[in-house]
């Protein structure tokens, strides 16, 4: 993982910040023979000891899961306040006539057990689209979730939101703000159906930093632009994506309600958590064997740098080349060329690097001589960086993805079975 700025990693994920508990259980939303002996958690909960300021960003897909609609309405009714999260896997509760009713019912069940308002609950679902969500297993599970809530329950919760994920994804950091030590921690799920523009995943972030809802939303929206929105696995934008942040203020710093040194410190810590989870999501792409990072440097502005980096990382031809450890730089230049941005292609340089070293493959928009054997050795590593130099300014940005393999097709060929 990468540490950005004056902070330290810590354990605990969504439970790392003061005052947050979590839990997860198996309730049987989707039964299968493989789960009969050792079933995996399929529903989880995160709860703060006190009410939180909350902010969220959602999928841009016109088809939105019912939980997205309900969470939006809840946060609007409370003025950006929340106390708990309930999330399930194995069923997206999307494109169902009774979807909204069941999503709000999940909020009611949670609220009744916690003694809070249903509108103070964030609800999320992930899994198969277009299948009716059985509410009965959830009704039985919620009391168990509340009973199992623990300040060490982060692993149970993060396991509960995994679908085709092969590893749990959680990050937490400590940082200094207003003379106090604060914590931001998060958990994420996502492996397939991932394309930039609210990165087709579920992401829940908690902090004990005191920050207003307005500034929390500002920080989240700005950081999403350069992290989750710069992530692509397969080019499909899901229907249920959301990232939510809850801030309970138990760090006791003076509340951040304007831009300045404290806001910058918070935003930097939030970026560190979200950037590392973005990398985890990319590396665990369905069937992936390699994490790909494209860094665009020397751009005239940030938006151009982001557009170019995302264009490269979203190229399926490039993803295939990286799977085969083929330094086919023409695929990089092709993706740079169809990026919706203005720059001089005849000034573009491209290099590829990994733990095995770095090699230049293109200069001033044209190929140069390089050792194919050395390039192969570099590209056989499991983390590859592709650097695109526009030589047109000082702005830079990164985007993340993975290679495209035979296993991706296999996984998605029988996803519903």
Rounded alpha-carbon distances, angstroms, from residue 358 to 135, 303, 365: 53, 26, 18
Per-residue pLDDT at 195:
53
CB 247 within 8 A of CB 211: yes
Distance of CA 112 to the CA centre of its chain: 30
Helices (H), 231-328: 261-283, 302-313, 316-323
Q: How far apart are CA 332 and CA 351, in angstroms?
A: 10
Least confident of 33-47, 156-170, 242-256, 277-291: 33-47
CB 279 within 8 A of CB 361: no
SS3 of residue 381 by DSSP: coil
pLDDT at 198 > cutoff 60: no
| E strand intervals along 289-416 | 291-299, 349-354, 357-363, 366-367, 383-389, 395-402
Mean pLDDT of 337-359: 97
pLDDT at 387 > cutoff 90: yes
Mean pLDDT of 182-199: 71
pLDDT at 245 > cutoff 90: yes
Which residues partner with 172 through β-bridges? 185
β-bridge pairing 121-125 and 81-88 = parallel
pLDDT at 187 > cutoff 50: yes
SS3 of residue 200 by DSSP: coil
Per-residue pLDDT at 199:
43
**What DSSP string runs through 150-170?**
BTT-HHHHHHHT-SS-SS-EE
CATH topology assigned to domain 7-283: 3.60.70
Mean pLDDT of 391-395: 98
Between 295 and 59, residue with greater pLDDT: 295
Name the catalytic one among 110, 159, 200, 207. Answer: 200
Cite the residue boundaries of each domain of the chain with CATH code 3.10.20.340.
291-413
Domain range 291-413, CATH class:
alpha beta
Rounded alpha-carbon distances, angstroms, from residue 132 to 94, 110, 413: 8, 20, 21
pLDDT at 167 > cutoff 70: yes
Q: What percentage of the chain carries pLDDT values higher than 90?
A: 76
Cite the residue boundaries of each domain of the chain with CATH code 3.60.70.12.
7-283
pLDDT at 413 > cutoff 80: no
Q: Is 272 known to be catalytic?
A: no
pLDDT at 196 > cutoff 50: no
Tokens 């929390």, residue located = 216
């Amino acid at each position: 993982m990468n540490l950005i700025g004056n902070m330290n990693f810590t354990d605990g994920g969504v439970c790392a910040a003061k005052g947050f508990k979590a839990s997860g259980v198996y309730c049987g939303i989707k039964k299968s023979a493989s789960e009969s002996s050792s079933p995996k958690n399929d529903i989880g909960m995160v709860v703060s000891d006190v009410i939180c300021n909350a902010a969220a960003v959602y999928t841009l897909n016109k088809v939105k899961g019912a939980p997205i609609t309900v969470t939006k309405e809840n946060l609007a009714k409370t003025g950006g306040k929340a106390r708990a999260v309930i999330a399930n896997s194995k069923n997206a509760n999307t494109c169902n006539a009774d979807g909204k009713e069941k999503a709000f019912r999940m909020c009611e069940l949670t609220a009744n057990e916690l003694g809070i308002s249903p509108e103070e609950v964030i609800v999320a679902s992930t899994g198969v689209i277009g299948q009716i969500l059985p509410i009965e297993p959830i009704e039985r599970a919620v009391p168990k979730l509340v009973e199992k809530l623990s300040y060490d329950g982060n692993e149970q919760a993060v396991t509960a939101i995994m679908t085709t994920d092969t590893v749990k994804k959680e990050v937490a950091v400590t940082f200094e703000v207003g003379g106090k030590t604060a914590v931001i921690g998060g958990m994420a799920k996502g492996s397939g159906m991932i394309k930039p523009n609210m990165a087709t995943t579920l992401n829940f972030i908690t902090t004990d930093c005191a920050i207003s809802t307005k500034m929390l939303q500002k920080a989240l929206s700005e950081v999403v632009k350069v992290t989750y929105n710069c992530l692509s696995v397969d080019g499909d934008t899901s229907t249920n994506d959301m990232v939510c942040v809850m801030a309970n203020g138990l760090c006791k710093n003076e509340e951040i309600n304007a831009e300045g040194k404290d806001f910058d410190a918070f935003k930097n810590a939030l970026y560190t958590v979200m950037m590392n989870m973005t990398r985890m999501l990319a590396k665990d792409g369905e069937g992936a064997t390699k994490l790909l990072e494209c860094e665009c440097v020397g751009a005239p502005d940030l938006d151009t740098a982001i557009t170019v980096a995302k264009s490269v990382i979203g190229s399926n031809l490039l993803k295939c080349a990286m799977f085969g450890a083929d330094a086919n730089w023409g695929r990089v230049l092709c993706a740079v060329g169809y990026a919706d941005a203005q720059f001089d292609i005849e000034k573009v340089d491209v290099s590829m690097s990994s733990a095995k070293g770095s090699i230049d493959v293109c200069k001033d928009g044209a190929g140069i001589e390089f050792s194919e054997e050395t390039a192969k050795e570099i590209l056989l590593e499991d983390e590859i960086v592709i650097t695109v130099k526009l030589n047109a300014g000082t702005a830079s940005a990164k985007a993340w993805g993975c290679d495209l393999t035979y296993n991706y097709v296999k996984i998605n060929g029988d996803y519903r079975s």
